Amino acid sequence: MPRHNPALHRSQKAPITPGRRRLLTIGAILLIAALGWGLATLLKPAIQHTIVITTGADNGIYRGFADRYAPLLKRDGITLDIRSSSGSIENYQRLKDPDSEYEVGFIQSGTTRPKETDDLQTIAAVSYEPIWVFYRGDATDTTINRLAQLRGKRIAIGVPGSGLLNVAQVLLSYSGITGNNTKLLEMDASKAYQDLENGTLDAAFFIGRPDASTQQTLLNSNLKLMSFAQADALVQKFPSLSKIIFPRASTSIVNDLPQTDVTLLAATALLVSKDTLHPALAYLLLEAAKTVHGGEDYFTPLGAFPNLNTDEFPISDESTRYFKSGRPFLQRYLPFWLASFIERRLLILLPFMALLIGLLQALPRMAQTRIKNRLVVWYKEIKSLEDEIWRTPQPTPDKIAQWREEIESIDAHASQIRMPERYFQDVYALKQAIGIVRGRIFQAAEKVH
């Protein structure tokens, strides 16, 4: 059928102007470009193969955790890029920067005041971090079991940027100790130990696991370990800390060290990430954390860590699912790269498959509608002509001649419509409608005569 058929002058719209056609063409090109860009974005590699993690001092507890994670992640083709820092506070500063390359890090509970705008999430709480206070003394000296007893002394409280520094300052402030009445010195663990031994320090705060080299050195030295007699009250005031017990003889059964149970306070090490971390990587980190931290130790039974017993940062959705039902189905039974590939491609293919199925179902109806529309335009033209006949009770001979010319033109064009055999009945129904209107014209012409 021609683009503009003169036989359809009653119902056919004016042809599209060149300007409008250009606009439609540009719109179609932009739509195709947008779809192509979206598809290219989705078809990017499933995940990156490197995780940048911010830890702590090179010989610190966080670095030890990361060093144990690295070979576990390497099994699944993921490289853990370990970056040192001054500690928990610097880790927090690095992670909350949306433009930084750091994606994961360890943050000590109680050392920051997170904000919703930080866009950070907790992967898991992974370990207790015992806080140790060692002090100089001999058998004749008074036992120190309250921080208030350290007033006026020389105390090492950690290094700038560390979580220990923040916690030590808060705990001391509860006991009325500040820089105005006590000499508070910022230094690392190694220097603090040396100064305790040579007498230039009276006490020092340390943090770390009992089996760490620094703690082993301290526990086997002549320095005294403070037991927090006020632990319950301090935990009430500082809920990010926990009360734990270091059992008698844990250092040495032979030498019975320590000779009594020691009450300690402990922060919790949190594995934190940006909320943009790929879900598949979150599951790998959870598996590594379970392997590294899931064992029994001095303070917790088997399987106590990792856990989600923290409210410092929002819990990641992947962690919630992991602790409820484990790793996703495909990751349990397929190599990580293959599971990630399938999950990523399914994410892409499922909407397209749904669209394809819908399109396949719609195509026959669309084809049927298109074919029937070829007839509908002629029905509209006939109906318009018939309506005019009914509205003209006294037509002139010229009007009758015009109507006859129109109906014959419609009949001629309708006879040229090419239709599949299954629609022949629709063609003959159109012919019948043309005959009815032709009869109306004949009756109108008889009235004229």
Count of alpha carbons within 13 angstroms of residue 65, beta-carbon side: 32
Q: How far is CA 409 from CA 375, 406, 413, in A?
A: 15, 5, 6
What pLDDT shows up at residue 1? 42
What pLDDT shows up at residue 91? 95
265: enclosing H helix or E strand? strand 262-274
Give CA angle at 150 (144, 155), nearest 5°. 115
Q: Per DSSP, what are the bridge partners of residue 177?
A: none
Side chain identity, residue 116: E
What pLDDT shows up at residue 334? 60
Other residues' Cβ atoms within 10 Å of the Cβ of residue 12: 16
DSSP string, 15-32: PPPHHHHHHHHHHHHHHH
User: How does pLDDT run along the chain (449 residues), one tens digit per residue?
Assistant: 444 555 555 555 555 566 666 777 887 788 777 766 665 555 554 457 899 999 988 888 899 999 999 999 998 889 999 999 988 999 999 999 999 999 999 999 988 887 777 899 999 999 999 999 999 987 667 899 999 999 999 999 999 988 899 999 999 999 999 999 999 999 999 999 999 999 999 999 999 889 888 999 999 999 999 999 999 999 999 999 999 999 999 999 999 999 999 999 999 999 999 999 988 889 899 999 999 999 877 888 898 999 999 988 999 988 998 898 776 655 665 665 555 555 555 655 566 667 767 777 777 777 777 777 777 888 888 888 888 888 888 888 888 888 888 888 888 887 777 777 777 787 788 888 888 888 888 888 887 66
Q: Are strands 242-246 and 262-274 parallel, antiparallel or unpaired?
A: antiparallel
The contacts of residue 113 (CB under 8 Å, 6+ apart) are none
pTM higher than 0.85: no
Q: How far is CA 342 from CA 47, 80, 140, 286, in A?
A: 12, 23, 70, 21
Give the span between the Cα atoms of 206 and 210, in whole angstroms.
11
User: Domains of the chain (ranges plus CATH)?
Assistant: 6-15+346-448 (no CATH), 50-327 (3.40.190.10)
Residue 270: name the closest of 236, 242, 301 by CA.
242
Rg of the chain in Å (alpha carbons): 41
Give the span between the Cα atoms of 145 and 193, in whole angstroms.
20
What pLDDT shows up at residue 259? 93
What pLDDT shows up at residue 81? 96
